[in-house]
Amino acid sequence: MHDWMLDFAEYVRELLPEEIAEPFIALARPAVRLSLAEEGETVVGRLGGLPRLPEGVPWPCAGDGGPAMQFLAELDCAALAAYESDIGLPAEGTLLFFATWDGEAAHVILLPPGASRVPEREAPVSGEAGVFTEVPFAAETVATWPTRGHDDLVKLGDEFWDRVVGEPWEVFADMLAEFAEAEGGRAHQVGGYSDALHSPIEAAAAYAAGVNLKDPGFAAEASQWVNLLQLDEDNGMIFGDGGILIFGIRRDRLASRDFSQIFPYVQGH
């Protein structure tokens, strides 16, 4: 068993009987959790700052002539390759993430390794393209699991989450939430199951792509979407009321390194 699975698997086995625990553990996916780097930690990217775009590459805007997007994060693909996830990121190059303040539009740029960049370019004065404080990212591989309502849990049934695992008031969903909080809670994350305050990113993306929930092909379309990057509210970034911003992408587009069609999804209260 992978190291990232050990604590999660042990915890689930303590709470559930084997015939239920093992199928749930098998659903776990690795993700790269990003946190603000401390001195001495390996840096894999950054949150905020200026994007340092190459000469001739325009600052992304929403639509044709719309407001300038906010620059949110940068990921070093070569550095991230040392950490396991369930999505196939490029093995080299740099990913730059932009979005409008309301999360209605997003843009991702893949820069090739060695690209000549212009660090002194200022943010456009139009729109909401403010500059956030630049802070470095560190990384670790963690276990993630599907939350209530995810298609991967259909076979386990809706009652699975409400199964009593201790005292009458202790149910599996609450105990698993306590485990997640002890592991760091909601976080910046690459790959894995994203947080689902409402609908999972996979279902939301499939619906946005025009596939009806009752369509036989809905589950197949949903399975094609992955969490490229999830950002929690941090460093002055606000995504609604206690929200998160998820950059969703289809697996085939990620495989072909086509970042032109990103599905931004904001979940909040």
- The tens digit of pLDDT for each residue in 156-170 reads 776 788 888 877 788
Please state the domain count of the chain.
1
pLDDT at residue 96 is higher than 90: yes
**CATH number of domain containing 162:** 2.30.320.10
For residue range 71-85, what is the model confidence (pLDDT) as tens digits?
Answer: 999 999 999 999 999
For residue range 176-229, what is the model confidence (pLDDT) as tens digits?
Answer: 889 988 877 778 999 999 877 778 888 888 888 888 877 888 888 888 999 999
Mean pLDDT of 79-99: 95
Unique residue bearing structure tokens 């946190």: 35
Q: Which of 23-32, 137-146, 237-246 has the lowest mean pLDDT?
A: 237-246
Instruction: Using DSSP, state whether 154 is helix, strand or coil.
Output: helix
Q: How far apart are the first and last CA of the chain?
A: 37
pTM of structure: 0.92
Distance CA(269)–CA(265), nearest Å, equals: 13
Domain interval for residue 55: 3-267
